[in-house]
Amino acid sequence: MIPPDERSAETKPGDAVRSPLGSERGQLPCPAELEQHSVELTSALEEDRSDLDAAREANRDLTRALNQRG
């Protein structure tokens, strides 16, 4: 899992809203740019979900271990 402070600016939540595609040219992004951005966001989301699933599993394991001791 990548700690939030080590993530690149591209994967921080809300960045896509604050800096829309195509803004550096003063025009709307072309469909290919939107598709690429969608692919990148989908990939980042899948990675974050995987990290979350792993953290949840570790939490369950730790909780189970604590309950068995007590």
6-31: pLDDT as tens digits: 555 555 565 554 455 655 657 889 99
Helix H or strand E segment including 55: helix 31-69
Q: DSSP code of 7?
A: S
Q: DSSP code of 28?
A: P
AA letter at 25:
R
**Please, which pLDDT band fits residue 2 given cuts at 50, 70 and 90?**
low
Measuring CA to CA, which residue among 55, 39, 42 is closest to residue 2?
Answer: 55
Question: What is the reported pLDDT for 50?
Answer: 98
AA letter at 10:
E
- Mean pLDDT computed over 42-54: 98
Give the end-to-end CA distance of the chain in Å, rounded to a whole number. Answer: 30
Question: What is the reported pLDDT for 18?
Answer: 47
**Whole-prediction pTM:** 0.57
